[in-house]
Amino acid sequence: MAAAYDGTVTSPPRIGVLALQGDVREHLSMLREIGAEPVAVRRPEELAEVDGLVVPGGESTTMSKLARTFDLIDPLRQAAKDGLPMFGTCAGMIMLADRIEGGVADQETIGGLDVVVRRNAFGRQVDSFEADLDVSELGTPFHAMFIRAPWVEGVGPEVEVVATVATGPATGRIVAVRQGHLLATSFHPEVTGDARIHALFADIVRSGG
């Protein structure tokens, strides 16, 4: 069993990327750009050595099955409960959600975010789009890319809505949330060239959530 997260943060922060499937390389590169020490995480013992964890975009059902195969799903759940800062993007948002709409019957999640997330809410790959978002913790709009993205249909009382869609048919849909040490976005900040949301997560890691 991996050691529990004890709240100790290294300098620079050692931030892992769950490296089972999805946009692992892009997140590692973005974390390196902001001055963090990026680490690929595939085993429980590697999870125990990081100060924070990014759960990348990809395919949420595949990711959950691989997490079970690699004996990671229970250590991930425990780490989230213990306060390890986690940042989920797209499929990673689904992985951090307590409840999923549109998932498969046996789909497992890490959980911790008191939200209901609708899987593939914005449509198929051909429905991918870009949009400028007003993100509550950033000074200027963030140009976001949505690829087979989920959205948040409901939030619990302790969840902060960080960003919503401002224009178009999906106006008002929640696409970024935070609950203490957990941050999640429907979109893919790792492919935009804008490192501000990764920097925001690094600040969460440094502050211990």
Q: How far is CA 47 from CA 7, 37, 205, in A?
A: 13, 14, 14
| Annotated active-site residue in 26, 46, 108, 190 | 190
| Annotated active-site residue in 90, 108, 181, 198 | 90
* Residue labelled with tokens 């440094």: 206
Cα 102 → chain centroid: 19
Catalytic-residue membership of 27: no
| Annotated active-site residue in 27, 181, 188, 198 | 188
Residue 28 CB coordination number (10 Å): 21
* Residue labelled with tokens 């809410």: 121
Catalytic-residue membership of 181: no
Closest CA to 23 of 183, 187, 203, 204: 187
CA distance 163 to 51: 25
Cα 96 → chain centroid: 7
Catalytic-residue membership of 190: yes
Active site residues: 90, 188, 190
